[in-house]
Amino acid sequence: MQITLTNASVFEENIFSQKNINAVVSADKDILSLLPADHAFEFNNCVVFPGFVDVHVHLREPGFSYKETIKTGTEAAAHGGYTAVCSMPNLNPAPDSREHLRLQTDKISSDAVISVFPYGTITKGQMGEELSDMDDISPEVIGFSDDGRGVQSDDMMRQAMLKAKELDKIIVAHCEVNELLRGGYIHDGEYAENHGHRGICSESEWAQIARDIELVKETGCKYHVCHISTKESVDIIRKAKAEGVDITCETGPHYLVLNDNDLQEDGRFKMNPPIRGEEDRLALIEGLKDGTIDMIATDHAPHSAEEKSRGLEKSLMGVVGLETAFPVLYTHLVKKGIISLEKLVEVMSINPCRRFGIKQDNCWSVWNLEEEYTVDPESFLSMGRATPFKGDRVFGKCLLTVHNGKIVWSEN
């Protein structure tokens, strides 16, 4: 199997260079069963990126395979140029012990087409009452998270951070103060007020980030904040970094591109945290540009069509994003001159690898940045179809993804 890249722009160490490459890559014949064994791929005037890394995805297996499986989720990731993902632990059973974790890792070993690094839970069953078997599962997890739920008890989070520090693992926190939610399900802003919806206040997010930062100062653990969405969160994290706190954070494509005035009465616009106001969106962009926000993660969270068909109030929280992240961000941020292409690759590949200690070998993807098309969820490899970007015109088509020297996606 020969892959020829002619006049390709290749990303290497934060520099793009023009070069001709004749790359011979071993191919999995099952993946390319429709192609002749001697097929040669030739790409002209394309761009080659290191494999993207998403530190926040929901693969739904075990427990919720009607929403997504490790096989379909990793195929979707490869379709989007990703070669490594970190899988969140809100599963059934939750990976809070070696026995429960094994149910997931066995499936990863047999079904994943790219690298999958699972999280273990912070607390047993993600109930916030007792620490998980952190010592026992530590060798097999990338870090610890109760994603989907904020750890409400200060003392419980302190215990978790001290244990994570001892184990040299990172705490990855979904920050949410339950008592401030007040039954809300979209941002407490203009759209909620105008359409009679119950809103989620920004303080429910940033107040717990502020609490955790004080605990990080006390314990010295490595700490990462999931999917920040508010301007206050950006300010608090920026200040903590200036003080030398060992903290990183992520945001998602929808928070950078949309505000609450873009909402529609459709479950594909419902996620947690919610899409916020325009001031929040602009603050997130500034945080991305100045390095306060270290990486972009999709929070890929597939649900069944029925679960997302109940409107803003009744639909389950979560949207898919692995197959749209790069084209959406390239179209709305890079092509508009808001950030550079180098910056986008840094926050989608370089920074996640550095922070989480992920090493990639011969992992890359080939893109046609000039191809424009309409986002069509029916073309997704993910079982999830709910995306706020349905029908959008975007640029950037993934032509080929290579993981550990094997072709795992080909646009053919």
Give yes or no for a contact between 348 and 134, defined as CB atoms under 8 angstroms apart. Answer: no
Give Cβ neighbours of residue 110 (< 8 Å, ≥ 6 apart). none
Which of 130, 71, 68 is CA-nearest to residue 96? Answer: 130
Q: In this structure, are strands 170-173 and 186-187 parallel, antiparallel, or unpaired? A: unpaired
Question: Which pLDDT does position 6 carry in this prediction?
Answer: 78
Question: Would you tell me the crossing angle of helices 278-290 and 231-242 to the nearest 10 degrees?
Answer: 30
Residue 176: Cβ within 10 Å count? 21
What are the DSSP calls for 338-393, one per residue?
SS-HHHHHIIIIIHHHHHHT---SS-EEEEEEEEEEE--GGG-SSS----TTTT-E
Question: Would you tell me the crossing angle of helices 231-242 and 203-219 to the nearest 10 degrees?
Answer: 20
216 vs 171: CA distance, rounded Å: 10
Can you give the pLDDT of all 412 residues of the chain as single tens digits? Answer: 567 777 788 887 666 776 665 554 444 433 333 334 445 677 888 999 999 999 999 999 999 999 999 999 999 999 999 999 999 999 999 999 999 999 999 999 999 999 999 999 999 999 999 999 999 999 999 999 999 999 999 999 999 999 999 999 999 999 999 999 999 999 999 999 999 999 999 999 999 999 999 999 999 999 999 999 999 999 999 999 999 999 999 999 999 999 999 999 999 999 999 999 999 999 999 999 999 999 999 999 999 999 999 999 999 999 999 999 999 999 999 999 999 999 999 999 999 999 999 999 999 999 999 999 999 999 999 999 999 999 999 999 999 999 999 999 999 7
Backbone phi, psi, residue 215, to 5°:
-70, -35
Give yes or no for a contact between 68 and 58, defined as CB atoms under 8 angstroms apart. Answer: yes
375 vs 381: CA distance, rounded Å: 13
Dihedral sign, Cα of residue 351, residue 354, residue 355, residue 357: positive
What are the DSSP calls for 204-254, one per residue?
HHHHHHHHHHHHHHHH--EEEE-S--SHHHHHHHHHHHHTT--EEEEE-HH
Residue at token pair 């007792």: 130
189 vs 193: CA distance, rounded Å: 6
Give Cβ neighbours of residue 357 (< 8 Å, ≥ 6 apart). none
Burial pattern 81-111, b for ≥16 Cβ within 10 A else e, equals bbbbbbbbbbbebbbbbbebbeebbebbeeb
Residue at token pair 């594909």: 268
Q: What is the DSSP letter of 267?
A: G
Q: Which amino acid is at 123?
A: T
Q: What is the pTM of this model?
A: 0.94
Give Cβ neighbours of residue 232 (< 8 Å, ≥ 6 apart). 202, 203, 205, 206
pLDDT digits (tens, 9 = 90+) for 254-280: 999 999 999 999 999 999 999 999 999
Give yes or no for a contact between 150 and 174, defined as CB atoms under 8 angstroms apart. Answer: yes
Residue 321: Cβ within 10 Å count? 29
244 burial class (0-12, 13-18, 19+ CB within 10 angstroms)?
exposed
Backbone phi, psi, residue 122, to 5°:
-75, -45
Question: Domains of the chain, with CATH numbers?
Answer: 51-359 (3.20.20.140)
Residue at token pair 């032509």: 399
Which residues are identified as catalytic?
299
Give yes or no for a contact between 197 and 312, defined as CB atoms under 8 angstroms apart. Answer: yes
Q: In this structure, are strands 364-374 and 393-403 parallel, antiparallel, or unpaired? A: antiparallel
254 vs 126: CA distance, rounded Å: 26
273 burial class (0-12, 13-18, 19+ CB within 10 angstroms)?
buried
